[in-house]
Homo-oligomer: A and B are copies of this chain.
C-alpha cells in the first residue's frame, strides 16, 4: 500500500545485465555460473531486493504457511504450545497463521474456510467442536483429540500421566485420593488422564473420588465438594490429582482459604508442566507434557508430504516433576 514499488526480479536482471531466469536461480540457490552469480548478488544488494512471496506462492502453489487453530493464548499451556510451534515452523522457514477460536464452535468452522482462502500448506488444530468437518485436501494434524486414522493426532501420554500421578501420590504416603477436572462433556485425549488415574487406583486398591465440573457450572461447586470432604478440620482426601495446572492453582487457593495446608494436609499434583513466570516462584507438582516435542511432532507431521505412512496417533511420554505441593519438594 505505502511501499514505493519495491524492486522486482526484472529490475535486478536489468541492473545486473542478466536474464530474469538467472536471477530466479540465484535467489533460489540453484547452480549458476560464478560470474553471473556475482553480478546478480551485487545487483540484489545494490537495489535492496527482497523477493515477493505472493508472486512465489501464486506460481508454485505453496505459501509456506501453516495455520494453527487454538482457543486462545491466555491459557499458559496454549501460550507455550503456540510459542514452540512457531519456533518449530520458523526453523523450517514456515510462517504461522494464528487463529483463536475462543472455544466458539462456529468460529472453528469459519476458520477452516478462512485459511483455505489463504491456501495454507497445512492446519494444526486444537479444537473442541464435537462435529468438526476435517477437510481431506489439506494436511491436517490435531492436538489432543483423535478423529480418525486418516487424521494424525499428537498428544502426550495422558493415560500414563494419570497412572503416574496416582502411583506418585501413593508413594508419597497418601491414603485416599481425589481427582478433579472441568469440562466433562467432550471425550478427548486429556480425558484419559482420569482413566489412567482410576485404573491405577483400582490396581493399587487405593480408595478415590472423582469430581468433574460440568461445562458452565459455577466454580463454587468445587468449594462445596471440598467442604463436604472435611472431617474434623481435615480433608479426608490426602492426595489430589487435578486435570490441569491452571485448575490446580485455583484449587490450591481454595484450600488455603479453607485453612488447609499444602502439602502437609493434602498433597496436590497437576498436569501440563507450565512455569508461570520463569522458574522462580514456587510451583505446582505436576505431570509435565513435553511441549517442545509435541510442537515438533505436529510440525514434522503436518509438513510430511505423504501423510499415508505417518502414524495416526503420536503419543509422547510425560514426566513427573516435583514442585512445592507434594512432600518430595
Contacts and interface: CB of A to CB of B under 8 A. Distances in A.
A98 B86 contact: yes
Contacts of A4: 137
Interface size class of A (residues with CB under 8 A): 35 or more
A73 B79 contact: yes
A281 B98 CA distance: 29
A82 B2 CA distance: 24
B82 A73 contact: yes
Which residue among A58, A62, A305 has the maximum number of chain B CB atoms within 10 Å of its CB? A58
A138 B3 CA distance: 6
Interface string A1-43: 1111110000000000000000000000000000000000000
Nearest to A67: B95
A119 B113 CA distance: 23
A303 to B, nearest CB: 9
A3 B61 contact: yes
A87 interface: yes
A76 B82 CA distance: 13
Given A54-B57, A54-B63, A72-B83, 19 more contacts: A1-B121, A2-B138, A2-B139, A2-B305, A2-B307, A4-B137, A50-B116, A50-B117, A53-B118, A55-B58, A74-B79, A86-B98, A96-B98, A98-B98, A247-B277, A249-B276, A249-B277, A250-B280, A253-B281
A267 B276 CA distance: 22
A90 to B, nearest CB: 8
Contacts of A83: 72-74, 100
30 contacts: A1-B61, A1-B121, A2-B138, A2-B139, A3-B61, A3-B138, A5-B61, A6-B137, A50-B113, A50-B116, A52-B117, A54-B54, A54-B58, A58-B58, A74-B80, A74-B83, A75-B277, A76-B79, A83-B100, A95-B97, A98-B98, A219-B280, A249-B276, A249-B277, A250-B280, A250-B281, A253-B280, A253-B281, A253-B282, A276-B276
